[in-house]
Structure 1
Amino acid sequence: MTSVLTDFELGAVRTRMLAAGAEVGPRLEGSLISGGRSNLTVLLRDGVRRWVLRTPPRHGRTPSAHDVGREFRVTRGLAGTDVPVAAPVVFCDDEALLGGPFSVWEFVDGVTVQSRDQLEALDQPVLDGITDALVETLAALHRVDQVAVGLERLGRPDAYVSRQIARWSGQWELVAAPGAEVRDAADEVRALLVERVPEQRHTSIVHGDYRIDNALLDLTGATPRVAAVVDWELSTIGDPVADVATMCAYRHPAFDHVLGFPTAWTSPRLPDPDALARRYERAGGVELDHWPLHLGLAYYKIAVIAAGIDYRWLAEGAPEDGNDTAGSAVGPFLEAALTTLTADRPTPPTRGARCPSTTC
């Protein structure tokens, strides 16, 4: 692993950790775990203990993204609940130290399953257990009382769908993919979403980016479990149905092009979105009211994310971690949104009922 912090920077991090009450040895070492489009993730060691540091990339940062302060705040609130998170150590907003804010958490032992190859190495009973653990954890998150854990100010509790439509439509205007057909499809999706904004019946903490690779998994016992949910930078207060829809929408095969490699979450060995929705409700999650609207919005959101990655690749003139493939995902996700929003679905999925696979 590549070193990403200087000795001076590591010393500054150690000082902040000590001030927060952490027990740290006389010298820290730092190795890069991951970096690129998201936050930089650094493994810290003192020879005895381990921690994880997250900080925005040093170049190419975008407004409202890379929010390590939000990640720290959410995990601090969720510590001690039924939602497994890494124990927070310290947040520092002094950008003079590392060139940006940073947060530190205790290290959590666990397995990350990101690629198709990693998933294919697992037996089917293990995959079934992982799926159950993932949906049970998401349902547990949606049951957390945001006021009781001090996270009520994480976001507005109302009008979540309207705000999401406005946010992603505004982003689309900045990064719109070339081609009249794609632009027309995006305009049609946006119009359908605006026409069908439902009354919000549920409010909870939402992760915003939930799928298998944003969880650390404990596979050492008889039953797989989620050791910690990670990557909370898109979390807020909102409609939990939208969180489930995003999880389902990521199952679309075109998501491989967004990340630039065959992903674990698009594997046909995992339950289809229909089954995921049913498992979530059986796990005690909220009823999936207005499901087609939420799923259509989720597809639209991912289409805009893909367009943004493609836009930055074209602007920078060089691919990064598969960015050169993201543009090819925009059309399929917009098409999925249109199919979902225009199909005849008189009722949303209800608890215990089968949700037609074309709606999930």
Structure 2
Amino acid sequence: MPEELPGLDLDRLGAYLDEVAPGLVSGPLSGSVIAGGRSNLTYDVTDGTTSLVVRRPPLGHVLATAHDMGREFTVINALAPTAVPVPKAYVHCTDADVIGAEFYVMSKEKGLAIRRADELAPLGPERTADIAGRLVDTLADLHAVDPASVGLEEFGRPDGYLERQVRRWTKQAEASKSRELAGYEELRDYLGANVPASSDASIVHGDFRLDNALVDVEDGDRITAVLDWEMATLGDPLSDVALTIVYQEMGRNDSNNVVATATAAPGYPSVDEVLARYTARSGRDVSSIGFHLALGYFKLAIITEGIHYRFTQGQTVGAGFDRIGESTEPLIAAGLAAAKS
């Protein structure tokens, strides 16, 4: 009898895959929830021979436009022939009757999602710096992909991207806001009044960080896959760069309850080094990064508050969510500091 998983009926999944992807799996499925996700639910599923990954939205409160399974599936498929490493996308199911929500199935790639400093530090400063550099190179390579060349020319609306980002995240804040947040209005108003001219448009990941990639530490520290594409669109590439830096700087603070701490490992590059490597690889001007950093902290604060809301409603699966709401106001404060720097 297959194991019961929250949000995933393995019997129904197996029957569906037998129908739409004959031969992909055979026999009863078993699985587990993959730890580390703060948003969509991710499962490791196997028939004992083949291992797959299944992604579906959270069990309860879902923010508008977030948790888009079709979006993830589309961009992973499109990027398969490019220099950007992605899993193989097998099946996208829009019928919520199968497991209770839209979902998709992809290959399980070799490698580790490195989240903690004590996972990265044993590799030593040189390998740590090399892995971080490869992550930055991968981001630059993503931004170098011509959307039209991979069929993604209609994947988003790059004109007015930054203005829409401010509006979108403000709207999502209101959807999840259940308490007063110090500095929220000031940061929101700054962002609305100081939108810079966008740089050239590219495919943006929207949540690019070390633990959203797999690193094969047994084979040259290769990045084997970039994961979690739910926020991908066409937009300003500097928003990706800034959010990566936001995650990096938050990770150096071992008291945060929000992001992985791997970036605190010895050898991880500084902000200036990250920007220099990205500029060298991409050739882009990063002089407006201050606004983008403020927006990145704002986004992370809203994401955190959404998770806090779901936790208070008993709708988030997994451990470690009881203190996450404590991080929203410090993130807002960091955004204001970036805005004034």
Q: Same fold (TM over 0.5)?
A: yes
Partner of 1:312: 310
Partner of 2:89: 88
Work out whether 1:7 is the aligned partner of 2:11. Answer: yes
Unaligned runs of 5+ in 2: none
Partner of 1:243: 240
Q: Per the alignment, do residues 61 and 205 of structure 1 end up closer, same or farther by CA in structure 2, a change over 3 Å counting?
A: same
2:223 maps to a residue whose letter is V
Matching of residues 139-158 of structure 1 within 5 Å:
139-158=140-159
Kept in 1: contact 2:242–2:289 (CA 8 A): yes
Q: Per the alignment, do residues 262 and 340 of structure 1 end up closer, same or farther by CA in structure 2, a change over 3 Å counting?
A: closer
Structure 1 segments, 4+ long, off by >4 Å, are: 254-262, 266-269, 317-320
Matching of residues 15-164 of structure 1 within 5 Å:
15-18=19-22, 23-34=23-34, 37-164=38-165
Q: Distance in 2 between matches of 1:42 and 1:317?
A: 17
2:278 maps to a residue whose letter is Y
Q: Per the alignment, do residues 52 and 163 of structure 1 end up closer, same or farther by CA in structure 2, a change over 3 Å counting?
A: same
Kept in 2: contact 1:300–1:333 (CA 8 A): yes
Alpha-carbon displacement from aligned partner over 1:258-308 (angstroms, at most 9, x marks no partner): 645862235464222222111211222532141111111111111222222
Kept in 1: contact 2:34–2:44 (CA 8 A): no
Kept in 1: contact 2:187–2:332 (CA 8 A): yes
Partner of 1:351: none
1:249 maps to a residue whose letter is V
* Percent identity for Structure 1 against Structure 2: 36
Kept in 2: contact 1:89–1:106 (CA 8 A): yes
Alpha-carbon displacement from aligned partner over 1:121-141 (angstroms, at most 9, x marks no partner): 322222111111100100000
SS of equivalent to 2:150: coil
1:331 maps to a residue whose letter is E
Q: Distance in 1 between matches of 2:63 and 2:295?
A: 22
SS of equivalent to 2:52: strand
2:280 maps to a residue whose letter is R
Alpha-carbon displacement from aligned partner over 1:135-159 (angstroms, at most 9, x marks no partner): 0100000000111111122211111
1:135 maps to a residue whose letter is V
Kept in 2: contact 1:217–1:226 (CA 8 A): yes
Unaligned runs of 5+ in 1: 344-360
Partner of 1:253: 250
Equivalenced residues, count: 335
Q: Distance in 2 between matches of 1:76 and 1:318?
A: 29
Return the offset for 1:196.
1.4
Q: Distance in 1 between matches of 2:82 and 2:189?
A: 39
Q: Per the alignment, do residues 115 and 177 of structure 1 end up closer, same or farther by CA in structure 2, a change over 3 Å counting?
A: farther
1:215 maps to a residue whose letter is A
Q: Distance in 1 between matches of 2:208 and 2:260?
A: 18
Q: Which has the higher contact order (CA 8 A, sep 6+)?
A: 2
Identify the range of structure 1 (317-326 vs 280-289) with the bigger mean alpha-carbon deviation: 317-326
Return the offset for 1:339.
1.6
Work out whether 1:170 is the aligned partner of 2:171. Answer: yes
Kept in 2: contact 1:85–1:230 (CA 8 A): yes
Return the offset for 1:331.
2.1
Q: Per the alignment, do residues 260 and 167 of structure 1 end up closer, same or farther by CA in structure 2, a change over 3 Å counting?
A: closer
1:340 maps to a residue whose letter is A
Identify the range of structure 1 (106-115 vs 204-213) with the bigger mean alpha-carbon deviation: 106-115
TM-score, normalised via structure 2 length = 0.89
1:217 maps to a residue whose letter is V
Identify the range of structure 1 (48-57 vs 130-139) with the bigger mean alpha-carbon deviation: 48-57
Identify the range of structure 1 (123-132 vs 203-212) with the bigger mean alpha-carbon deviation: 123-132
Return the offset for 1:190.
1.8
Q: Distance in 2 between matches of 1:227 and 1:319?
A: 27
Return the offset for 1:65.
2.5
Return the offset for 1:6.
3.3
